[in-house]
């Protein structure tokens, strides 16, 4: 695979390099994956279609890491190189997702991540997480109405910035 560096973004005082990796014809749309190497350097790699963990690591130039080829990654996911040379999946930070114009997975987001959404401050972010922990995941924007301080108008505004799909990092892309 050939990686072409398209641009470099400064996000939260961390340089994130963005690369584009061509995929076979007929693949679905672009998938943005962050790769964080053992030294903490982050790269965002764009794929045409969902890659597996090993493809994301390879495209970012990370080698000699134990990775999983069985599950496909979804846009906004991150692959972290852990001590001992193993890779693990998670999600990009909320501010990074917003900076890249990507939706935030509301059912996996921390209160800090939620604060990156316009109109959500610290108190509302904590209330959203507390409600999700107490009552379970949000299935749609209308479910946000159960959070004190969120009505239909605010729920609709928040919905523009989030996804309500299964947010487990190991859930295969569909």
pLDDT of residue 30: 83
Domain limits, the chain: 4-94, 103-163
**Residues in CB range of 42: below 8 A, 6 or more apart:** 14, 15, 16, 34, 35, 36
Is 103-163 in CATH node 1.10.10.10?
no
| Spatial distance between the Cα atoms of 132 and 89, rounded to a whole number of angstroms | 21
Q: Point out the residues of the chain with pLDDT beneath 50.
A: 1-28, 171-174
pTM of the model: 0.75
Distances (CA, A) of 7 to 4, 49, 70: 9, 20, 30
pLDDT at 8: 31
Residues 6-47: tens digit of each pLDDT: 323 333 334 444 444 444 433 445 899 999 999 999 999 999
Task: List strand residue ranges (DSSP E) for 53-142, in order.
Answer: 77-82, 86-91, 104-105
């Amino acid at each position: 695979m050939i990686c072409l560096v398209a641009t470099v973004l400064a996000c939260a005082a961390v340089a994130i390099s963005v690369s584009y990796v061509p995929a076979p014809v007929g693949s679905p749309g672009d998938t943005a994956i962050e790769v964080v190497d053992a030294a903490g350097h982050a790269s965002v790699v764009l794929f045409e279609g969902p890659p597996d963990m090993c493809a994301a690591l390879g495209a970012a130039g990370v080698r000699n890491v134990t990775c999983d080829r069985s599950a496909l990654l979804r846009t906004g996911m991150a692959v972290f190189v852990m001590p001992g040379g193993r890779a693990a999946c998670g999600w990009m930070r909320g501010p990074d997702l917003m900076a890249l114009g990507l939706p935030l997975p509301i059912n996996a987001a921390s209160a800090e991540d939620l604060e990156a959404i316009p109109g959500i401050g610290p108190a509302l972010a904590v209330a959203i997480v507390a409600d999700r922990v107490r009552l379970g995941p949000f299935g749609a924007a209308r479910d946000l109405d159960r959070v004190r301080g969120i009505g239909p108008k605010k729920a609709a505004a928040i919905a523009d910035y989030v996804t309500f799909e299964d947010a487990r990092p190991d859930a295969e892309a569909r």
